[in-house]
């Protein structure tokens, strides 16, 4: 075990969809990796600690809100510059992940993509892929998780979109400004690559059409730094065969506890999440496969969300079943189950019962409305 001392300002108290500021706290960090099980542990010994295990990051808030302690805030970014020489905000390809955390703070979400690659986010606008515990790719473009899952991640209140490439080119710069300021070339009409000394490490800029201009002017929108030849994607084996087909276990547990007026805790479940994130209002977000999300206050499950798909480049065909509700179920069948309790029109319904609120989202399958996504709030 190796001990490190970090002046690392980490995640702050979470308010409505944002992080609130708190006093800077120095924390002693212990980092440990079990090379047999590939388990990691990062423990901040004062107000906050996290445990990173093979497929997920667990956030421990056991003392938060009960003893008045404030969590350390995220560090200020010393420089928002991006370059081949200095990397992204000082985070360079090949740097150890723990050293990247010294600069960026604690990530707001984490998921293992495959045997070697782990994806971290800092808010919703900065994504870091680590390969074998070293920085591999840093980008502001999310290529891995769905918009549904991304929308649940808490915002990072730092202005991570105020980046400049080589001190000149910022978001919404024109192609002409890029050509005048940067040494590189267009590899297609909407992608510019800076000239690099190494084929292993590169920096690319992507353009989009400016929706505010009358013509089809292209403006800078995204960057990707690091290994540009590696198309890192989610391995379907990490999300298949986890909880799919066994949602009834979760349903039975929640209904039994609700009937007995007892909470259902994340730690009570027999499954391990593959994605974990901070959410708004002190919530924690857990995804268990390509469809199932559980949202918890502290450890108590408060909401179930089942989506058509949560991860890109994976099989999106949903076959889930939760109690007597299942994927692509006809709306008429659901209406019969909740006769007289359905509120809503067309493709969105609400149902209120003594212990749950249901939100049904439908889509058209030929001429039939079928269930696409489901949310259940637990009172």
* pLDDT attached to residue 71: 38
Phi, psi of 303 (to 5 degrees): -150, 140
Q: Which of 19-23, 114-118, 255-259, 291-295 has the lowest mean pLDDT?
A: 19-23
Note the pLDDT tens digit of each residue in 20-75.
222 333 444 444 544 334 454 554 443 333 333 333 333 333 333 333 333 347 88
Cα 28 to Cα 2, 71, 251, 269, 312: the distances in Å are 11, 13, 40, 31, 37
Stretch 179-208: mean pLDDT: 91
Tokens of 48: 């906050």
User: Is residue 173 within 8 Å of residue 208, measured between CB atoms?
Assistant: no
Q: Is the whole model's pTM more than 0.75, yes or no?
A: yes
> Given strand 39-44, what is the order of strands in its sheet?
2-6, 27-34, 39-44, 49-53, 56-60
Tokens of 29: 């960090």
Q: Cβ of 143: how many Cβ atoms within 10 Å?
A: 17
> Residue 240: pLDDT band by 50, 70, 90 thresholds?
low
Number of DSSP helices (H) and strands (E) in the chain, helices first: 5, 29
Stretch 326-349: mean pLDDT: 90
> Residue 374: pLDDT band by 50, 70, 90 thresholds?
very high
Name the average pLDDT for the chain: 80
* pLDDT attached to residue 24: 31
Does residue 245 or residue 372 have the better pLDDT? 372
Does residue 108 or residue 24 have the better pLDDT? 108
Question: Whose structure tokens read 């510019």?
Answer: 192
Total residue count of the chain as it appears in this document? 379
* pLDDT attached to residue 257: 94
* pLDDT attached to residue 248: 87
* pLDDT attached to residue 124: 94
* pLDDT attached to residue 125: 94
* pLDDT attached to residue 174: 93
* pLDDT attached to residue 241: 56
Q: How many CA atoms lie within 13 A of 217 on its CB side?
A: 14
Note the pLDDT tens digit of each residue in 139-165.
999 999 999 999 999 999 899 999 999
User: Is residue 321 within 8 Å of residue 327, measured between CB atoms?
Assistant: yes
* pLDDT attached to residue 115: 85
* pLDDT attached to residue 242: 62
């Amino acid at each position: 075990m190796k001990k490190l001392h970090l002046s690392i300002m980490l995640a702050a108290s979470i308010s409505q969809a944002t992080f609130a500021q708190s006093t800077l706290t120095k924390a002693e960090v212990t980092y440990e990796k079990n090379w047999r099980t590939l388990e990691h542990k990062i423990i901040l010994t004062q107000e906050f600690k996290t445990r990173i295990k093979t497929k997920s990051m667990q956030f421990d808030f056991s003392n938060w809100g009960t003893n008045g302690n404030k969590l350390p805030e995220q560090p200020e970014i010393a420089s928002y510059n991006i370059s081949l020489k200095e990397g992204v905000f000082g985070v360079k390809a090949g740097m150890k992940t723990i050293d990247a955390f010294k600069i960026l703070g604690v990530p707001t979400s984490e998921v293992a993509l495959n045997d070697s690659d782990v994806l971290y986010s800092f808010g919703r606008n900065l994504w870091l892929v680590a390969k074998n515990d070293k920085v591999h790719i840093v980008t502001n473009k999310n290529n891995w998780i769905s918009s549904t899952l991304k929308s649940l991640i808490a915002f990072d209140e730092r202005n991570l979109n105020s980046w400049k490439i080589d001190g000149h080119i910022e978001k919404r710069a024109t192609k002409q400004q890029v050509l005048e300021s940067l040494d590189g070339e267009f590899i297609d009409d909407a992608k510019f690559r800076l000239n690099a000394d190494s084929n292993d490490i590169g920096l690319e800029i992507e353009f989009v059409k400016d929706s505010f201009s009358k013509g089809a002017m292209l403006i800078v929108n995204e960057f990707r730094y690091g290994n540009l030849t590696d198309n890192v994607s989610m391995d379907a084996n990490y999300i298949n065969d986890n909880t799919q087909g066994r949602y009834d276990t979760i349903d039975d547990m929640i209904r039994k506890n609700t009937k007995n007026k007892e909470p259902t805790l994340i730690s009570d479940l027999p499954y391990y999440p593959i994605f974990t994130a901070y959410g708004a209002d002190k919530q924690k977000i857990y995804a268990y496969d390509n469809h199932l999300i559980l949202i918890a206050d502290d450890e108590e499950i408060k909401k179930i969300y089942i989506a058509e798909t949560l991860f890109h480049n994976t099989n999106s065909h949903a076959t889930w079943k939760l109690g007597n509700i299942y994927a692509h179920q006809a709306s008429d069948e659901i209406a019969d189950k909740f006769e007289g309790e359905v509120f809503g029109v067309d493709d969105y319904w609400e149902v209120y019962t003594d212990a749950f609120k249901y939100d049904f989202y439908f889509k058209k399958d030929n001429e039939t409305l079928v269930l696409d996504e489901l949310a259940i709030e637990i009172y």
